[in-house]
Structure 1
Amino acid sequence: MEQLTELPIIDCTKINITLDDAEIDDNDLREFGEDIFESFKRYDVTSAVLTNHGISEEVVKAAERVTSELEKPDFKKIAPYFAPMKLGEEFQRKCDIHIDGEDGGIVKHSFATKHGVQLLTKKLMLLKKDKSGDTFNPENGRTLRFVPSLAQVSVLNIDDIIPGFNKAYNALFCESLKLAKRVLTALTFPLHTDRDYFNKMIEDIHTPGENGSALRGNILPKVPQDFPIDDQVVRINEHEDRSIITILHQANVNGLTVKTMSGKSVPVVHKGDSLLLQTGNILARLTSGKLPPTPHSVMGNKEQLQQSRISHAFLIFPDEKVELRCIDGSDTYPPVSAFILLNDLENQDLHGLKH
């Protein structure tokens, strides 16, 4: 196993999204999938940098522009325009649960619109001093989660608040989905399963209420000049994604760190238009734990904390009706419906338990 100083780089030229499906043969997909698997094994990490992927820089920049608007308006002014998602409501399972309390709560705001957009702040994004454990909250981080299959929920067009939001996020969602499908199809070869295994798992990705795959835009506001910084602070706590895979459009400010399977921290350096591939809890279960989820966090030094940090994560989930079974037939994890598992994982997040 090689000593890892930076993440492996995987070239997507032969499977990039500017190519039509007919231009990509199974040998190209097999080679790409085996490259990913080999890099995971060789470098002891279930994450890789993707280059030459074909996602338009213009589309990425458009999403960054509308996400930057989150830093301008005050939440108290925005909140009345959104329909709160309350515990017990039909679509609550699709939202991060709204819990307030003296301990700081998990989510300060959680709202959904008719376009499937949720606006929230999370305990995950509390700024925490690394040594003392004290917390500092400059309005937390802010997240907009764009979930097309939730589009029937409410009555507000978010374009009324952030002009051009839907066009920008829909374009990035669609291009990210196309790339994610190519990656997942490629992975079926080293996993020795049906070529359409993952495609069948996300057939309802655009069906209202059936799939929670999301494009999540995150902004971490810059901190006040007088905030005391000894060395590094935690901008986003270490966590794992609940997804099958996550395609991360890297932030304008460095600080992201991933952990190898043996627990070593590796900094992720922003490189042009490269993307980051990360594995999630669902894929770990499907592969009988052979591909564990990628633990990741965001740190910040004084220079980085004086800049607002914007990133976009595309998280792909299975349809809720899908029964999840280990691909190798081992039943290392017992069969379970995606709906039940995703709710269990969400509840574990809420109570601070390990997945």
Structure 2
Amino acid sequence: MKIPVVDFGVYSLKEDDVTDEQLDAVGEEMKSAFIDVGFVYLKNTGISQEEVDRVMDISKKFFLQPEDLKEPFRRGGFTQNCHHGWASLETERLNPLRPSDLKETYNVISVHSDMKWPSEGAAAGFQEIQTSFFLRCKDLSLRVLRVMALSLGLDPEVFLSAHSLMGRERNLTTLRTIYYPPVDWDKMKEGQLRCGEHSDYGSITMLFQGTNDGLQIHSRSGEYISAPCIPGAVLINIADLMQRWTSDQFVSAVHRVLLPPAGDTSTRQALAFFAQPDDDALISCCDGSNKYPPVTSGAFLEMRAADQYT
């Protein structure tokens, strides 16, 4: 099994004149992928590889700084949002049965100008580049959510109205830049991965990968399949709240990032945009069933995030 690739050109960020027939066609392709796999590659979205490379470049410059220069931006140190900021190596453990993950991250949740941002030396331009890309991803995610709703025969506002506060208070949508440093093979713990097995929490995730592979998806047949880097494409997956929202029509698939081959000291980068409903949005089954009890987005996400950090 392979992850399908869908051309999103008719509704890319560069296109505003799209017909219902075109939306129906692309929606059917995406719907099939989300039902069967839970993941889909979208090409021709309007977000260029150059934009992605720019964010990865400034992010890597931040991560390669000495730890004392990163410490002021640690996650938990922002009064405006406790989830915003930097998490050091082995801070997160996405699979609680494994040792902590071998990655560093920086979460951009608020795009308010009054946040404290890295700005000195190698990190000059960090705020502008990150916030600009956040807003581009926000716009694309809303288009994707619209097509998803239409593919299920729903009013698009069912999804769109619940995502009105992305980038502002009372919404935990996150642009996460991820750096997997060279593996220190002498210090490896048994069972340790770059990122342990997990499913995402919110509505959808949009992932932009660097040049090195390692991501695997757990398929419905019970095997892991590779999700290789496709330059210029974004990999989109269903997250847990969306699976509840659609009464299991769309699948939130478990995934992981493996270590490179033994002795390999290469790095890996990725950018993940986690689209989350507004904190107060009440998520109930959109087919009118009671398969899952209603839950607010904020309560569900806080519950899931509590197990993530060591």
TM band (smaller chain) = 0.7 to 0.9
Q: Does 1:248 align with 2:207?
A: yes
Q: CA offsets per residue over residues 326-352 of structure 1, 9 Å max, x none?
A: 10010211112222222222235469x
Equivalent position of 1:75 in the other structure = 67
Equivalent position of 1:107 in the other structure = none
SS at match of 2:161: helix
Question: Aligned partners of 1:294 and 1:55: how far apart in 2?
Answer: 25
Map 1:284-323 to 2 at 5 A. Answer: 284-302=243-261, 305-323=264-282
Shift in alpha-carbon separation, 1:289–1:302, aligned structure 2, 3 A: same
Q: Does 1:181 align with 2:175?
A: no
Q: Does 1:34 align with 2:28?
A: yes
Q: Does 1:142 align with 2:138?
A: no
Q: Does 1:168 align with 2:135?
A: no
Structure 1 segments unaligned to the other structure (5+ residues): 96-111, 113-117
Question: Aligned partners of 2:223 and 2:161: how far apart in 1?
Answer: 35
Letter in 1 for 2:140: L
Structure with bigger gyration radius:
1
- Check conservation: 1:255, 1:267, Cα contact below 8 A: yes
Equivalent position of 2:170 in the other structure = 210
Deviation at 1:13, TM superposition (A): 1.5
Question: Aligned partners of 1:54 and 1:194: how far apart in 2?
Answer: 24
SS at match of 1:249: strand
The one of 116, 121, 145 equivalent to 2:88 is: 121
Q: CA offsets per residue over residues 101-155 of structure 1, 9 Å max, x none?
A: xxxxxxxxxxx4xxxxx10136476799xxxx99598xx4110111125665x5x
Question: Aligned partners of 1:189 and 1:217: how far apart in 2?
Answer: 30
Structure number with greater CO (CA < 8 Å, separation at least 6) is 2
Question: Aligned partners of 1:228 and 1:210: how far apart in 2?
Answer: 39
Question: Aligned partners of 1:262 and 1:330: how far apart in 2?
Answer: 27
- Check conservation: 1:10, 1:35, Cα contact below 8 A: yes
Q: Does 1:45 align with 2:6?
A: no
Q: CA offsets per residue over residues 166-214 of structure 1, 9 Å max, x none?
A: 121122212222221111101112222112222111112243x221111
- Check conservation: 2:199, 2:254, Cα contact below 8 A: yes
Question: Aligned partners of 2:211 and 2:287: how far apart in 1?
Answer: 40
Question: Aligned partners of 2:275 and 2:98: how far apart in 1?
Answer: 34
Deviation at 1:226, TM superposition (A): 5.9
SS at match of 1:328: coil
Letter in 2 for 1:36: M
- Check conservation: 2:34, 2:251, Cα contact below 8 A: no
Letter in 2 for 1:142: E
Q: CA offsets per residue over residues 255-313 of structure 1, 9 Å max, x none?
A: 10011134221101112211101110110110112223121101123379411111000
CA RMSD, 1 decimal: 3.0
- Check conservation: 2:185, 2:263, Cα contact below 8 A: no
The one of 324, 338, 347 equivalent to 2:297 is: 338
Give the length in aligned residue pairs.
Answer: 308
TM-score w.r.t. length of structure 2: 0.88
SS at match of 1:314: strand
SS at match of 2:135: helix
- Check conservation: 2:74, 2:86, Cα contact below 8 A: no
Map 1:89-100 to 2 at 5 A. Answer: 91-92=81-82, 95=83
Deviation at 1:233, TM superposition (A): 6.4
Equivalent position of 2:196 in the other structure = 237
Map 1:255-294 to 2 at 5 A. Answer: 255-294=214-253
Question: Aligned partners of 1:176 and 1:28: how far apart in 2?
Answer: 22
Question: Aligned partners of 2:167 and 2:244: how far apart in 1?
Answer: 24
TM-score w.r.t. length of structure 1: 0.77
The one of 3, 6, 9 equivalent to 2:5 is: 9
Equivalent position of 1:328 in the other structure = 287
